[in-house]
Structure 1
Amino acid sequence: MIGADIETARTMARDLSTFEFSALEPAAAELCTKLIETVIDPSFPGAIIPNVDATGDLRLILAAPTMTAWRRLSPVLRAFAGPTLTSFDGLLEPLSHGDPVVEIVMHSQPAATGVMRLPTKNRLSALRALLQARDMLGRAPNLQRAAPEPTSWLLARFQDYLNVGRRDAATDILARIKSELRLDSLNLKFLEVQLLATFSDWTGIVGLPGFANLCLARRSPAVTALLLEALYRVHLADPFDAGDASETRPLYEAAVRPFAQPMLSLPAPMTLKEGGWRIYGLESWIAPSRTDIALALVNRQDVLGWISHRLPAAVPAAGLAPEPTPLDSARSALVQVDAVESVDAVAAALAALAKLTSEELARLRGAEPFRSTLQVTDQLAEIDLPTSWTEWLAKTADPSFTTALDIARKGKDEWTIEAGAGDPVAVQALASALDHAQSNALATERTGQALPFLVAWLQRDPDFPRSAMTPIYASLLTLFALGPARGRGTYDSSQILVSALLTAGLDVKAYKALIADIEELAGDGFGVDMVYWVLEITEEFMRASAPDVDARESFLHGVLAHIAPIYARLTSLQRAAMGRLAQELGWTLQSLGISAGIGEPDDFSSRIQGLRIAIYSLTEAASRQAKAAIEEIAPTAIVDCNADHGGTARLRALAENADLFVMTWLSAKHAATDFIREHRANRPLLYAQGRGFSSILRAIEDHLS
């Protein structure tokens, strides 16, 4: 099969079937028609396309989507229909433009092509031999099939895409996890909640089928925080922001409280946001008997707003409460484990159980609901669960720590970041733990796999990026560059660390070290799939101040020079992005060794022609550059840029009428994004992962692909 997907291949096959083989004898024409089926045959590594020229001679065009497919296809065709029957000697041969069949084939952007010429006397024998080759390849096992990826790797990649706002890519991972039955339906729903919350799609969360069941199920604290935030944003945000107590209270009681009450346990989730705290406040207002909530809301006036003046006084229980016995503490800890899916809750339960006598432990094992919960804690009793990233990194060298990635995925939401990020001792301890983990192969492997979770944890810092944390950002970026995860593709989260380091500020030595890490990440000969990543990093450097201008100039020139050898293989949008960057740097493509007009045509320009495309970004220079690049390859496209800070009539018109709407995820206002989503309905809404114009072009290309 050739083409980006099965639908593209089917379109090509339909177009090719319109060409007649009336100049051939009926038997040969029938065999040619069967060979066209290779275009859509997923088991065939390429395609064999018959082509009758103006003189009536028959030749076969050979095409493969990758060089790997060509290496599989070429020797088989040579064995079945080599020089004894045809002209084919197994070598590549470029196709000459001008022939309509060739133009259709080149539309698929094949990585390798060849031509097989058939003499008239051996024509039928050669065609029959090629059909036998097709049948043989269809039955052959695919020895190039990739090994199955562990679920933990897929979840790490899912987090990686969420870190940078690649919604479509994250959705694809979620669909794969679901289709391959990797997780149960409840955990799939929790991942969907995480995805929707990342893009502030609170209406989507509340509208999920089975939302009420999610509020009752055993959840992680992070999911609880997201569900509460969604309830607040959908039902209460408007009247609460207006200070309308007469409307807010009945709305809470009717639309929110039935769902929220099962989730209002303590301690409150570490990641609880403003809306969640306000729901706790409303519950305390309506139910003064919940003195535990009232005590938890002390010193939360900054997020509670006007509701803080209506709360009952937080009065501790009269008298001194009796000190709980070790058995009582263990019971409470086990109840928490049963109610909440939390690493810290399990760690606390294990610590409480360790203080019991053998008789007390036997009493717990003999009674429900503790018997079932103890079966869970028994499995983790020998692990000594970590309660911070420093402890997690210290355990990564232990072969028995097989749940490392699962704990890292939960720890990113449960382990505190604010206090440690401002403490030089804690920062140094974490940096030392990262350095120590790199001295052990197993620890390095596990840390490399957990990098997206570490980056997500760092982004929870309200002051991210902060200069005190630059040693951590730099150590993680070095792991991205040199760690074993690099062999499975560069994580997009590395872009976040590059931006954080440039924003926080670097001295000359650190700046040059950052450039070295990026060059290591990119490699000496990166491929087309990394071009957008490289261009986005380049834009980050151009936006940030440079402590060493010469080093930046050399780095940027080197990046574009590395792209030059593969320029002809870039898509039209990638070529437009590179041209714009070179122009902004004051260079020309010719100065990089690129000839004018080079590059194979693709269908992106034709698919964009005539479309109305809206771009929303507060980085207006990026919007303008993206507009110019799109109009360069598709002059009939209408591109509108917008940077309004809230819902305006113009922004509404764009949301309702644009064929494609691109929103820069890192450079947008929440009020505007919510407004756009509300008026966009089911029309395509694309999220660009960076602030630059190459991110905008990438979002459009990913959608069209």
Structure 2
Amino acid sequence: MNRADALRQALGDTVRFGPMRERIEVLFETEARAWTQRPDGWMVIPLERKPAGFYLVSTDREGQRRGQEVLDAFLGPATAVLEPQTMSSDDGGADGILHSIGIRHLSYLRRTTESMDDMLERIEDAVATVDGKDARPRPVRPSHVDLLRDFRLALLGHNGRAAERALENLRLTGRLSAENLRFLDVELLGRLERWKELQALPYLQEMLRARRPRAVNEILLQMLWWTELAERCIGGQSADEVYAQVELGARFGTLLNAVDIPITEAGRSVAIVTATAQGDRGRVERLLGAVAVDGERERLERLAAGADTVAHVSAVHSIQDLFDQAQYGAVTRAFLEAPDPAAADLAVQAVLEAGEANESAPAVLSAVRGFEAEGRLRPNRRLQRDLSELDRLVDGTCGGWVEWSARLARERWPDADHVLRSQHTQWAGLETLSEPDLQHLANQVLAAWGGDNKEQVKRALDVLCRSVAEAVDTMRSDAFFDTVLILLADQPNLSEPVRDAYLLLVKRFLACGPAESDYQERLSETSRLWTLIASPAAVDWGLSLVDVLLYAPCPEPAARLAVISEVLGTCQSFEQRLSARQQLELEVLGDEAGVPVRRAPTDTSDAGSVWKRLDGAVVGLYSLQPRAQALLANRLSRLCHPKKIDVNSDKVATASLRALAERADYLIVDIWHAKHAATDAIDEVRPKSEQIMPRGQGITGLVQALEEHLSATDGAAHAVRR
């Protein structure tokens, strides 16, 4: 056994370090590389021995002395005290392993500070100083801005565990109000489509009585559709019947009209049921006019059957009635048709309740300020406060991407990320911008990243990623796409969600069939990123990268092979730290790439007990990914013996798709290669909790997700569903 492998065995499984795992991995790899250059030196390493914790290890007393001098300087007695320990060469654990490679001396770092994080920070500083470089790839204490970025990027990648971890750390910072944390709870559950959990939130009714951002309203409308309305509407009940049975007006009145035209299909379904039951024919027509997909339009028309024409509203009393019914859009339209100071208060409240600066907001503000200037209106204290809020709302209104980026680069703008998040869905898409506009947008965002609005750009990073990913194949220039990749790679904290977002964008870019020069440039950037993050904790990312490169269009095979060889070679160097599944995928990907990887014999009894749950089971897969069935079967066949791997690739709801969703013992829904109509059909017959959603890319992402699902659930919960 060589020295590096022995040190890794003495380190043990780093899963035990929880959220500090990646930092300790990076610290260990940095020290292990340095040790090979100065084998008579010293090293700080957490060992699997008693007492548990960090140890200073060395081959001789001089190494102990030099190490102790450095650690005393950086830690001090207020952080840790070094206590010499007696080693046992006969020990079968860490002592015996270290003794076999010549390490004869060690001292235990007994922590005296209350914070393990503080001690690790000081050790990282010591190692980085001795090695002459910064060994930390990210700040020791991520700021609340970093955590908020990670939270939303994790949701973009459907990585629920990373999102929950980031949200929990956000709570601990104490930087966000209880109300904002509740909004993030809604965002978490909604983006992961955990509608039942969202419906069961204890503070949901309290939240419905308060003002909410549009993004929260959009999610709550989807929740309402899937938990209360979908089954009834699909069963053929009319809008009036559903509205009455569910008591929509009484239970969800402030939500139903908060967004005039929702951006999601489920939200529009709720809106058209509401408009039909309330007799708001104008809103019905606006909803139908906003739908471009024939299938959805036909379904909305069926839901709207029997809508009556709403009477013209002009009297103040009628506006009050509309406001009491939470028909905020109707309130503002009626006010603007016949402006009246007596209705100004209701009009301002209606705009604010919608949670966005829509097209009516400037007109309402202008009318009310005009009444005030003419002396026809004397605002009370509450209306003055609401007018100030409406001023800020209107001031933040942007007409599109170029206008937003120009202001972002021009002046400090604390609300820039909020404006983008709440308004970008109403703007013309990136694919409609000209090449000069895209170049201008890219330059302005980069200028903001290097200026006063860096935090605002970081907060909005998930919106930027999602927007370019959706438009990458239709944009007239790659300038803005390149800018977003630069922002991701330039993060001082290359966390898991940041890396996953980068890989998602690279995959979308490669799928478009780039030119040779663009392909080479992208490969070089990705290779540099891998060099920065390479560690056992990043192996799954590396495997996903190889999977993406293998099955994407490739104008330069030699360059691709070089990067794949580099990634697989680095992963193989961590062989002693890889799971059975990772070792298998390393071998399979090497075979598929033509870069054979030797797989060392390992004890897979623990891993095998997890994969054996699939023996004799039907594994269902919904995916539009080419060759998905053959590639998945090839990998699973080396881990277990499923009865059948059944794949469906229908693009719409079909009987065969529903049948697969019902009969499969385990169902993987490949969200990266799926059609919305088909996934809706799956949701109708199988709850989200029984669907396995990959967060990684390619076939590797499917296998990773399946392993996580098997490891996280009890075997008894997966009895055959038949």
TM-score relative to the length of structure 2: 0.69
Aligned to 1:259: 251
Instruction: Verify: 1:610 aligned to 2:612, yes or no.
Output: yes
What pairs up with 1:468-547 in 2 under 5 angstroms?
A: 468=475, 471=478, 474-480=481-487, 482-485=489-492, 490-523=498-531, 526-547=534-555
State whether residues 662 and 696 of structure 1, in contact with CA within 8 Å, keep that contact through their aligned partners in structure 2. yes
Secondary structure of 2:534's counterpart equals coil
Deviations along 1:17-45, one digit per CA (max 9) or x if unpaired, are xxxxxxxxxxxxxxxxxx9997575xx43
Mapped partners of 2:342, 2:464: distance in 1 = 35
Aligned residue for 2:352? 338
438-447 or 153-162: which moved more?
A: 438-447
Would the aligned equivalents of 2:465 and 2:501 in 1 still touch at CA under 8 Å?
Answer: yes
Residue by residue, what CA displacement relative to the aligned partner does 1:394-441 show, whole Å, maximum 9, x if unpaired?
A: 233456323334x2xx5234323673344243x642431222332462
Partner secondary structure for residue 428 of structure 2: helix
1:370 aligned onto 2:370: no
Partner letter of residue 483 of structure 1?
D
Work out which of the residue numbers 373, 382, 404 in structure 2 matches 1:392.
Answer: 404
Quick check: 1:386–1:392 contact (8 Å CA) kept in 2? yes
User: Which residue pairs with 1:142 in the alignment?
Assistant: 119
Which residue of 462, 466, 476 corresponds with 1:456? 466
Q: Do the aligned partners of 1:467 and 1:504 also contact (CA within 8 Å) in 2?
A: no
Q: Do 1:412 and 1:454's aligned partners in 2 also have CA atoms closer than 8 Å?
A: no
Residues 1:216 and 2:206 are matched in the alignment: no
Determine which of 637, 662, 678 is the counterpart of 2:687.
678
Whole-Å separation in 2 of the counterparts to 1:653 and 1:676: 10
Question: Aligned equivalents of 1:648 and 1:156: distance in 2?
Answer: 36
- Which residue, 273, 283, 289 being the options, matches 1:293? 283
Of 200, 206, 210, the residue aligned with 1:207 is 200
Contact 1:333 1:345 in 2 (8 A): no
Structure 1: distance between partners of 2:499 and 2:210: 33
C-alpha contact (below 8 Å) 1:617/1:623 kept by paired residues: no
Equivalent residues of 2:225, 2:270 under 8 A apart: yes
Query: Does the aligned pair in 1 maintain the 2:282–2:309 contact within 8 Å?
Result: no
CA distance in 2, matches of 1:622, 1:701: 17
Shift of the 413–602 alpha-carbon distance from structure 1 to 2, 3 Å rule, reads farther
Instruction: Provide closer, same or farther for how the CA distance between residues 626 and 262 of structure 1 changes in structure 2, counting only shifts above 3 A.
Output: same
Relative to structure 2, which stretch is displaced further, 226-235 or 386-395?
386-395
- Aligned position for 2:454: 445
Distance in 1 (CA, whole Å) between partners of 2:562 and 2:13 is 38
Match of 1:162, as an amino acid? L
Structure 1 residue 305 and structure 2 residue 296: aligned? no
1:222-246 CA distance string (max 9 Å, x none): 222222222222333244335x245
Deviation at 1:254, TM superposition (A): 1.6
Task: Identify the residue that residue 595 of structure 2 maps to in structure 1.
Answer: 587
1:120-135 correspondence to structure 2 within 5 Å: 134=110
**2:153·2:462 contact (CA, 8 Å) conserved in 1?**
yes
* Aligned equivalent of 1:401, options 404, 413, 432: 413
* Unaligned runs of at least 5 residues, structure 2: 1-10, 19-45, 58-63, 65-69, 123-138, 292-296, 315-332, 651-655, 713-722
8 Å contact kept, 1:38–1:46: no
Is the alpha carbon distance of 1:548 and 1:226 closer, same or farther for their aligned partners in structure 2, counting shifts above 3 Å?
same
1:466 and 2:476 aligned? no
Measured after TM superposition, the shift of residue 388 of structure 1 is 3.6
- On the 8 A contact 1:623/1:641 being kept in 2, the answer is yes
Identity %: 18
Assess, with a 3 A threshold, how the Cα gap between structure 1 residues 326 and 552 changes in structure 2: closer, same or farther. farther
Deviation at 1:373? 1.8
Asked if 1:597 is matched to 2:589, the reply is no
Partner of residue 134, structure 2: none
The 10-residue stretch of structure 1 (181-190 or 277-286) with the greater mean CA deviation from structure 2: 181-190
Q: Report the Cα offset of residue 581 of structure 1.
A: 0.9
- Contact 1:389/1:415, CA 8 A, preserved across alignment: yes
Alignment of 1:620-659 (within 5 A): 621-622=627-628, 624-626=630-632, 628-629=634-635, 632=638, 634=639, 641-644=645-648, 651-655=661-665
Output the amino acid matched with 1:265.
N
TM-superposed CA distance for 1:305, in Å, is 3.0
SS at match of 2:211: coil
In structure 2, C-alpha distance between the alignment counterparts of 1:315 and 1:610, rounded to whole Å: 66
Aligned equivalents of 1:667, 1:616: Cα separation in 2: 11
What SS does structure 2 have at the residue aligned with 1:643?
strand
Distance verdict in 2 for CA 1:364–1:563, change over 3 Å: farther
The question of whether the paired residues in 1 share the 8 Å contact of 2:668 and 2:694 is answered with yes
Shift of 1:536: 1.8
Provide the aligned C-alpha RMSD in A. Answer: 4.9
Contact 2:408 2:444 in 1 (8 A): no
SS in 2 for 1:546: coil
**Once the two structures are superposed, what CA deviation does each residue of 1:423-466 show, in whole Å capped at 9, x if it has no partner?**
243x642431222332462268343553222123456x5xx553
In 1: Cα distance, 2:421 partner to 2:646 partner: 35
Spell out, residue by residue over 1:238-268, the C-alpha distance to the aligned partner (whole angstroms, 9 max, x if none).
Answer: 44335x245x642331215133432233661
Aligned AA (1:574) = Q
Instruction: Measure, in 2, the Cα distance between the counterparts of 1:537 and 1:369.
Output: 55
Equivalent position to 2:233, from 237, 240, 254: 240
Q: Which residue of structure 2 aligns with residue 121 of structure 1? A: none
In structure 2, C-alpha distance between the alignment counterparts of 1:238 and 1:196, rounded to whole Å: 20
The answer to whether the 8 Å contact 1:664/1:696 transfers is yes
| TM-score, reference length from structure 1 | 0.70
Match of 1:125 in 2: none
**Corresponding residue number in structure 1 for 2:704:** 698
Shift of 1:630: 5.2
Give the Cα separation in 2 of the matches to 1:679 and 1:398: 44
Alpha-carbon contact 2:408-2:416 (below 8 Å) kept: yes
Does the 8 A contact of 1:647 with 1:675 survive in 2? no
Query: SS of 1:442's equivalent?
Result: coil
Residues 163 and 452, structure 1, Cα contact 8 Å, conserved in 2: yes
Residue pairs, 1:316-327, within 5 angstroms = none
Contact 1:158 1:173 in 2 (8 A): yes
**Is the 8 Å Cα contact of residues 670 and 694 (structure 2) preserved in structure 1?**
yes
State the number of aligned residues.
603
Residue equivalent to 2:425: 416
User: What code does the residue aligned with 2:646 have?
Assistant: N
Specify whether residues 531 and 281 from structure 1 end up closer, same or farther in structure 2 by C-alpha distance, changes over 3 A only.
Answer: same
Report Cα offsets for 1:463-495 as digits up to 9, x if no partner: x55322552563244424553456566442222
Q: Which stretches in structure 1 are left out of the alignment for 5+ residues?
A: 9-34, 49-61, 63-67, 89-94, 119-129, 591-595
Aligned-partner Cα distance in 2 for 1:185–1:207: 18
The reply to whether residue 189 of structure 1 matches residue 182 of structure 2 is yes
8 Å contact kept, 1:539–1:692: yes
Question: Contact between 2:208 and 2:252, CA under 8 Å: does it hold in 1?
Answer: yes
Change (3 A) 1:231 1:471: same
Distance 1:428 1:264, change over 3 A: farther
Counterpart amino acid of residue 392 in structure 1: W
